[in-house]
């Protein structure tokens, strides 16, 4: 099992950050263009517990993938999880924590627990490629959030 945790401070009230994160279509804004990320399913304006979202994603060297996630454990304005149902990982459990820091600043923390398929081979691919790919994706995410919210 592997873990990734990233934290960012944004100069916006928690309500603004939550509204953005609770809108499933905004995930496009936070995904690097080179992944050719496409949302396939119809989306509601706001996420809800049990929402299933289907994406298509292109992973360099590994081709195109169908990715199906479920939104769950929503605590309005504070926390939610997206959990992979079908996709490139054996396990993907992404916690999104949103916390007010004063009246006009928000701390957003991403915690991802994930596991690759293919046993030892998957471990090697993680060490030499997937770990860096995820670092790049989450760095892009932080950059975009900073651009959008300061």
Residues ≥6 apart with Cβ < 8 Å to 7: 107, 108, 109, 110
**pLDDT value of residue 61:** 73
Rounded Cα gap, residues 77 and 145, in angstroms? 17
- Confidence tier at 81 by pLDDT (50, 70, 90): very high
pLDDT at position 108 over 90 = yes
pLDDT tens per residue across span 54-65: 999 998 777 899
Please give the full DSSP string across 6-35, using - where no structure is assigned. Answer: EEEEESS-HHHHHHHHT-GGGGGGGS-GGG
pLDDT tens per residue across span 29-80: 999 999 999 999 999 999 999 999 999 999 877 789 999 999 999 999 999 9
């Amino acid at each position: 099992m592997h873990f990734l945790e990233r934290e960012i401070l944004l100069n916006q009230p928690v309500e603004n950050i939550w509204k953005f994160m609770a809108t499933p279509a905004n995930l496009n804004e936070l995904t690097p263009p080179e992944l050719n990320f496409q949302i396939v399913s119809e989306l509601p304006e706001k996420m809800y517990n049990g929402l299933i979202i289907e994406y298509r994603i292109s992973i360099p060297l590994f081709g195109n993938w169908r990715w199906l996630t479920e939104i769950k454990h929503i605590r309005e304005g504070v926390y939610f999880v997206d959990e992979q149902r079908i996709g490139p990982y054996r396990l993907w459990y992404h916690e999104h924590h949103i916390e007010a820091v004063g009246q006009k600043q928000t701390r957003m923390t991403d915690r991802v627990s994930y596991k690759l398929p293919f046993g030892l081979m998957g471990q090697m691919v993680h060490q030499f490629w997937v770990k860096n790919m995820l670092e790049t994706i989450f760095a892009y995410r932080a950059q975009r959030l900073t651009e959008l919210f300061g």
